Amino acid sequence: MEMPGERTKYAWRSHILAARAQVTPSEHAVEAAALAAAIGPLAGADDVVCAYVPIRGEPGDLRMLDALRVRDATVLLPVTGEPGPLSWARYEGADSLRKARFGLREPTTPTLPPETVATATTILVPALAVDRRGVRLGRGAGYYDRTLGAAGSGARLIAVVRDDELVDHLPEEPHDRRMGWALTPGGGLCELGR
């Protein structure tokens, strides 16, 4: 997905959200299955993976999280709170989720402090798009930009996007935290910034 000329983040967001609204349930299911298959091998029993439950047309579904759990990885999901770095809680399956603010689903397990992100070996980050340099476009609230500052230097930062949301160039601001990897349904895991 490319947009001609220089575009603002707002224009990119509008364009991508409109495109996502056109994805059929069957297309979404096929893409979600491909993401779950690609994500499982990324983690094992010694790994802590900070992830999220996809909502509102985001690529993927709970199968991604369950694929990590099958590998005995510890899966942590964000817990909503005041604007600032995200808190976390352990994912123990679909039955352990409750509805939360912003249409999110979050674990009912005990809440862990924001600095827990420093223990993660892999961090799956929701994105509307990511470019080949690693610049990620989120929804604009800044939760992940504030959170990722505490991530360990060795953590793999992976933006999860649809195939056409891996683009050549996005606008970047000084506070944006670059991703090292993109995970797409068709391409699997691909390194960024090289």
Q: Which residues are annotated as a binding site?
A: 9-13, 53, 58, 136-144
Known binding-site residue numbers for substrate? 53, 58
Tokens 């793999």 -> residue: 156
Known binding-site residue numbers for ATP? 9-13, 136-144
Amino acid at 189: L
DSSP result, 30-55: HHHHHHHHHHGGG--TT-EEE-----
Token pair of 159, please?
A: 């933006």
| Torsion 191-138-18-12 (CA) sign | negative
State how far the Cα of 149 lies from the Cα of 75, in Å rounded to an integer: 20
Beta pairing partners, 33: none
